[in-house]
Amino acid sequence: MNFEEFLVKVGKNIQKARKEKGLTQENMDEGDYAVPVRTLQDIEAGRANFTANSIFKLSKRLKVKPRDLLDI
């Protein structure tokens, strides 16, 4: 697996967790641990090299462990 494939797989994990919680990308840009919609779109599409801060915020917002998002 190369780095680009890793980004895509992590993005799909994040998207799956978000949808399982019944949240839209717009919902993720609200409240505590908000992640901007554009940033989330890029991460979920595998186009962004996410930061540890983004993974932290996403895991808190989705109420999952960071490793659940990174587990490929």
Q: State pLDDT tens for residues 48-61.
A: 999 999 999 999 99
| pLDDT, tens digit only, all 72 positions of the chain | 999 999 999 999 999 999 999 999 999 999 999 999 999 999 999 999 999 999 999 999 999 999 999 998
| Cβ atoms 57, 34 nearer than 8 A | yes
Residue 49, CA distances (Å) to 6, 9, 23, 27 in order: 10, 12, 22, 22
Determine the pLDDT at residue 72. Answer: 87
Q: List the domains of the chain with CATH numbers.
A: 3-62 (1.10.260.40)
